[in-house]
Amino acid sequence: MAAMVLAATRLLRGSGSWGRSRPRFGDPAYRRFSSGGAYPNIPLSSPLPGVPKPVFATVDGQEKFETKVTTLDNGLRVASQNKFGQFCTVGILINSGSRYEAKYLSGIAHFLEKLAFSSTERFDSKDEILLTLEKHGGICDCQTSRDTTMYAVSADSKGLDTVVGLLADVVLHPRLTDEEIEMARMAVQFELEDLNMRPDPEPLLTEMVHEAAYRENTVGLHRFCPAENVGKMDRDVLHAYLRNYYTPDRMVLAGVGVEHAQLVECAQKYLLGTCPAWGTGAAVHVDRSVAQYTGGIVKLERDMSNVSLGPTPFPELTHIMIGLESCSFLEGDFIPFAVLNMMMGGGGSFSAGGPGKGMFTRLYLNVLNRHHWMYNATSYHHSYEDTGLLCIHASADPRQVREMVEIVTREFVLMAGTVDVVELERAKTQLTSMLMMNLEARPVIFEDVGRQVLATRSRKLPHELCALIRDVKPEDIKRVASKMLRGKPAVAALGDLSELPAYEHVQAALASRDGRLPRVYRLFR
């Protein structure tokens, strides 16, 4: 008891094992200690005397980051990027997609995406494939776009041989059983229903604006399988397509976090001299068409009043997307267009603000901040190896569609006007920041390596891209925007379109000096 009293007395007095009593905040002794009185006059930009100089890790030039590329005897390219870590991402990218389906049943690429990682010659089921990957802590995925199909696996680097063997089997030796095709048919039907029911219509509008911009050719062909073709898919249809487009010269085996020599050895073991499931006949119907930009309009009248029911239903909106032809990612103007897209920015009117949200972009400052009735104004840039499309998506109440279209056309016209140096530097910094942050992720590096090597047989490194971004001048933005505005627009419209201006009026507005729609006079309102 006496010991407890003594301890309590010491605590209250600030003595004993808890140390001496702490001076008040105003005492000179406390101020001197907290403000670092030992070095009173040294600025933060100078090193402290007596403190060892830090030694930072360095690399010898940029060769440590270079992407190594080897071409095998059959034309298949092997590309690797070294990256520290226990895990790797490896995959096969193929120059194949919906743009090559002009001579085939539309929707094949969509079906192949759903059939990926199903049973093969070596694996009896998808479950067996997943169990094999789980032994190496692996996951798998397949994605198709308009011009590229990508099979990818992330797993422990020690399982590289198993992973490459599995990828080769999945790509070249799929069984495509009737049961698997039926399951893929159900998955495709569900995705089509979801596409038409979801409150966010951006994927559907993107499909529509491509259809309008490239009427019935290349990237304007349907990316999703049309409903009338779902029941027509079978093994023979798929094999006819695979025979022409799943050839070694159209493939890249890309790896991140692996040794290049080891990846090449695995590629030679599993991807050289192998006979695919559809035979070894020469490809005879390969589509080498160049994208033909046509411009035009695609409209879809739909009741959008019940897309999101519940206690707080989503308001009825009309959505429009206006696009103009930009350039391919192989052209020198690709970087200025990317900066222009970042400068336009935008988003939803209810998006939370904060760093990196683009609240100082033009579509926020000039559109969403000034016109409270607009729900969305967002810029998108789609780029391919032979063309590109810069779009603005906007949504508002059906009664204000005409005013919304005029606001968008004015923003397009203003792109070719004066470019403020501050907003340009901000857009360049934001683009550089997004590029470098995205390339922190191993799967993103893998996709970047694979797509660049597939398109150009080499890869531009991040520091080269950053240098190109820094070199963009205001006159570059004005030049590419002026060139873009000389083309015909592509327009996609979804919802209640009773107030939608005529296509010719949209075209006239984009060709005018101020972006205003021609006046329409009505006798009766």
Residue 119 pLDDT greater than 70, yes or no: yes
The beta strand positions in 350-473, using DSSP E, are: 374-383, 388-396
Cβ(114)–Cβ(141) below 8 Å:
no
Nearest to 389 by CA among 209, 203, 145: 209
CA separation for the pair 184, 182 (Å, rounded): 5
Residue 352 pLDDT greater than 80, yes or no: no
Higher confidence at residue 524 or residue 507? 507
β-strand partners of 319: 395, 494
**Cβ neighbour number for residue 203 with a 10 Å cutoff:** 14
- At 438 the pLDDT is 95
CA separation for the pair 34, 456 (Å, rounded): 59
- At 4 the pLDDT is 47
Residue 12 pLDDT greater than 90, yes or no: no
69: left (phi over 0), alpha (psi -120 to 50) or beta: beta
Could you read off the pLDDT of 381-408 as tens digits, one per residue? 999 999 999 999 999 999 999 999 999 9
Residue 56 pLDDT greater than 60, yes or no: yes
Higher confidence at residue 151 or residue 56? 151
**Which of these ranges, 32-36, 99-103, 208-212, 326-330, has the smallest mean pLDDT?**
32-36
Region 364-389: what's the mean pLDDT? 95
Cβ(295)–Cβ(217) below 8 Å:
no
Nearest to 259 by CA among 456, 70, 59: 70
Residue 25 pLDDT greater than 90, yes or no: no
CA separation for the pair 382, 375 (Å, rounded): 22
Could you read off the pLDDT of 434-455 as tens digits, one per residue? 999 999 999 999 999 999 999 9
Region 62-79: what's the mean pLDDT? 87
**Burial level of 367, CB count in 10 A (0-12/13-18/19+)?**
buried
Nearest to 445 by CA among 316, 254, 271: 254
Residue 8 pLDDT greater than 50, yes or no: no
- At 28 the pLDDT is 46
Nearest to 38 by CA among 50, 26, 22, 46: 50
Question: Hey, is 152 helix, strand or coil?
Answer: strand
Beta-carbon contacts of residue 296 (< 8 Å; ≥ 6 apart): 212, 213, 215, 488, 490, 491, 503
Could you read off the pLDDT of 206-219 as tens digits, one per residue? 999 999 999 999 99
Q: C-alpha angle 346/224/285, rounded to 5°?
A: 120
- At 61 the pLDDT is 52
Rounded to 5 degrees, φ, ψ at 297 are -135, 140
**Cβ neighbour number for residue 248 with a 10 Å cutoff:** 20
Could you read off the pLDDT of 467-490 as tens digits, one per residue? 999 999 999 999 999 999 999 999
- At 156 the pLDDT is 97
Kindly state the DSSP code that residue 363 receives in the 8-state scheme. I
- At 24 the pLDDT is 46
Residue 357 pLDDT greater than 70, yes or no: no
Mean pLDDT of the chain: 89
**Half-sphere exposure of residue 517, counting CA atoms within 13 Å on the CB side?**
20
- At 36 the pLDDT is 53
Could you read off the pLDDT of 291-325 as tens digits, one per residue? 999 999 999 999 888 877 677 778 899 999 999 99
CA separation for the pair 235, 176 (Å, rounded): 6
CA separation for the pair 36, 30 (Å, rounded): 10
Residue 524 pLDDT greater than 70, yes or no: no
Could you read off the pLDDT of 494-510 as tens digits, one per residue? 999 999 999 999 999 99
**Which long-range contacts (C-beta less than 8 Å, at least 24 apart) are formed by 228-231?**
229/105, 229/106, 229/107, 230/107, 230/185, 230/188, 230/189, 230/192, 231/185
State the pTM of this model.
0.86
Beta-carbon contacts of residue 406 (< 8 Å; ≥ 6 apart): 501, 509, 515, 516, 517
